[in-house]
Amino acid sequence: MTMKVPMTEYLRIDLETEKWECRVCDHVIAPAAGNYKEGLLVHNRDPREIHPPVIDPAKYRYTFCPDPEWVRILEFCCPKCGTQIETEYATPGHPPLWDMQVDVPALKAQWASRGPAMLPDAGPAVVPGRGHAH
């Protein structure tokens, strides 16, 4: 059986195909050795839309809103199901980060010695009746 390791709330790595996949819709996103963001869609969000002004922007310089000239929110979503997989509060023009650079051979070796029974119970695909212990 192919082992798929959940790496984040919405991403997993298929150890056999060595691909990043969406955990919500199973979409194959990108090679696991690369940057998963390259297989996603991006939206440059004005931060004022997410963090609304608490006090009147017509009257005041600081309003509880991030300054859109100083910071933007990069929203990364799955091209198939639209799940928002990652956000990045970015300085305007700053290249998006390759945030998870995985050593895939090491990951495969680690999980070969663990086996699928050790896969973590976290995120949307929790298997009922299999608790975790610590």
Partner 1 sequence: MKDMTTGGPAPSAEDMKLIKKFLEDTTLFLGPDPEIMQNHDLMPRSADEEHAIANVPDTHTIAKIRDRLQAGCDEGYEMVEQMGAAPGAKWGDVITGIYSASGDLAIASAGGVLLFSSVVHHPIKFIVKNWMNEPTVGVRDGDGFIHNDSRYGNVHNTDQSMILPIFHEGRLVCWVASTVHEGENGAIEPGGMPSMAESPSDEGLKMSPFKVVENYQIKRDLLTFLQNSVREPKLQLEDMKVKLFACLRIKQRIEETLKTDGADALISTLRLTMEDVRAEVKRRVSEWPDMSVRTYIIQDSTLRENCVVKVNCTLTKKGDQLTFDFRGSSPEFTNRATNTILGGLKGMLSQLFLCYIWPDLPRGQAAMAPIEVITDPHSILNCSYDAPNSQSLMSIFTGFTAGQHAVAKFLYSCPEKFTKVHAPAFNMINTFIWGGVSQHGETLGNLCADLNGMGAGATSNRDGEHALAPIFATMADIGEQEVNEEDVPFLQLVSKKMTRDAIAPGKYRGGQGYTMMVATKDSEQWGFMTTAQGAKIPPIQGLFGGYACGTYPLSKVQGVDVYDVMLNEPEKFRHSIEEIMNEQPFEGARYTTHHMGMGFDISKRGELYMISQGAGAGYGDLLERDPVGVVKDIEEGLMSAEVAARLYKVVFDPATLAIDFEATEKARADERKARIARSVPYAEFVKGWNQPKPPAHLPYFGCWGDDVETLYMGSPDKTRRGDEPKPNYMVHPKDVRIAELEARLAAAGVPGDEKQ
Q: Is 97 in the site for partner 1 (CB under 8 A)?
A: yes
In this complex, which beta carbon is closest to partner 1, that of residue 1 or of residue 117? 117
Shortest reach from residue 23's CB to partner 1, in Å: 11
Nearest CA to 21 out of 48, 40, 46, 41 is that of 40
Shortest reach from residue 104's CB to partner 1, in Å: 9
| Angstrom distance (rounded) from CA 8 to CA 41 | 17
| Angstrom distance (rounded) from CA 42 to CA 86 | 10
Binder of partner 1 out of 17, 28, 46, 60 (CB under 8 A): 60
Backbone conformation region of residue 38, classed left if phi is above 0, alpha if psi is from -120 to 50, else beta: alpha
Map residues 27-56 to x or -, x wherever contact with partner 1 holds by CB under 8 A.
----------xxxxxxxx--x--xxx-xxx
Binder of partner 1 out of 28, 89, 112, 125 (CB under 8 A): 89
Strand order in the sheet with 19-22: 4-6, 11-14, 19-22, 28-31
Map residues 11-30 to x or -, x wherever contact with partner 1 holds by CB under 8 A.
--------------------
